[in-house]
Amino acid sequence: MKTIGYAAQSSDSPLAPFPFERRALQAGDVAMEILYCGVCHSDLHYARNDWGFTQYPAVPGHEIVGRVTAVGPDVTRHKVGDHVAVGCLVDACMECDQCEKGEEQLCRHGSTGTYGGFEPVVGTPTRGGYSKHIVVREEFVLRVPDALDIAKAAPLLCAGITTYSPLRTWGVKEGTRVGVIGLGGLGHMAVKLASAMGAHVTVLSRSDTKRADAVALGADGLLVSSDAGAMAGAVNSLDLIIDTVPVEHDIQPYLPLLDVDGTLVLVGQIGPVGTLNSVPLLMARRRVSGSPIGGIAETQEMLDFCAEKGVLPDVEMIRMDEINQAYDRLIKADVRYRFVIDMASLQAA
């Protein structure tokens, strides 16, 4: 299938139009026209080769919402015309213990990313959602509930599931005390989702300037992490902390905020987080953990939950040809809180 996308040709080149071929439709595949694609901080890291494994030309994008245009003869879950979605994964072995548990993101043999991986069948590099079309095996295509606004839903496929998964894993429910570090693309979703689950939500921020925004998103309050007195007064006040900060930072000051058996979960930074002193962990059986995205079943559960509760990200719509300016703004944290590309702005190949 001929299509067109936007690609980076090197780590220091701007994204620009890039015609390419998608694989031919196979028996278990779903072909879709991409209608909207969210812009994730991971897209920027990948385009700039910040992680050292980028394959150029690089077509980012793993927050995809579209319309089914064709299905293979073995497909039973989706039909032409359906609104569907694709997140961070497009394949996995589907045979190991993790895949059998619905944890495809933890596949023992390595799952295949929507970009940055290789197509298991044809061996070509996977290219993401900054494009007009995509072909994905049925098991990795999600149903978009009718109650969700498809123009705003795309960031749920990464920012949504990245924060939903640890909230579910650590059993957040009515009355759970949840802290959220960072109020960006991930953080604002963590606040909305935890609030919708009935949690008491506290945003942790270095200043008081985001208090009104935090409350508007559903938080019950904001704790200024640079205020030593306020931090001392909040010791043992949280059951779970979701840390969404995407750069290296010191997590040590947040650990005493956790109650006995509390957990701080890292979902933003990939890499160092400073020196860790074990004393707060040992003295209250506290934990530091990490969490990637969820599996396909959990991602569908998240979409259904968001439809039921009316949870959607706050987005700013952009044209495809505005992506380089969006990246510049993303670096400056100049977005509230997620960019979404209207793919109607990309001329078909």
CATH number at residue 223: 3.40.50.720
Render pLDDT for 149-172 as a digit per residue (tens, 0 to 9).
999 999 999 999 999 999 999 999
CA-based nearest residue to 183, from 150, 148, 209: 209
The model's pTM:
0.95
Residue 347: the pLDDT is 79
Q: Are both 320 and 271 inside the same structural domain?
A: no
Q: Are both 39 and 131 inside the same structural domain?
A: yes
Q: Are both 106 and 122 inside the same structural domain?
A: yes
- Which of 244, 272, 290 terminates a domain? The answer is 290
Q: Are both 149 and 180 inside the same structural domain?
A: no
Q: Are both 268 and 168 inside the same structural domain?
A: yes
CA-based nearest residue to 85, from 136, 147, 131: 136
Question: Distance between CA atoms of 78 and 95, rounded to whole angstroms?
Answer: 23
The β-bridge partners of 37 are 64, 341
Report helix angle 159-169 to 185-196, nearest 10: 40
- Which of 290, 316, 334 terminates a domain? The answer is 290
The sign of the dihedral angle between the CA atoms of 171, 175, 177, 178 is positive
Residue 215 reports pLDDT greater than 60: yes
Q: Are both 29 and 113 inside the same structural domain?
A: yes
Q: Are both 312 and 334 inside the same structural domain?
A: yes
With cut-offs at 50, 70 and 90, classify the pLDDT of residue 247: confident
Q: Are both 127 and 219 inside the same structural domain?
A: no
Instruction: Please state the domain count of the chain.
Output: 2
With cut-offs at 50, 70 and 90, classify the pLDDT of residue 348: low
Distances (CA, A) of 110 to 26, 103, 120, 295: 22, 11, 11, 13
With cut-offs at 50, 70 and 90, classify the pLDDT of residue 271: confident
Residue 274: the pLDDT is 83
Percent of the chain whose predicted confidence (pLDDT) is above 70: 99
Q: Which domain holds residue 141?
A: 2-158+294-345
Lowest-confidence pick of 264-268, 272-276, 337-341: 272-276
Tell the residue number behind the tokens 């109607």, with chain if given.
Answer: 344
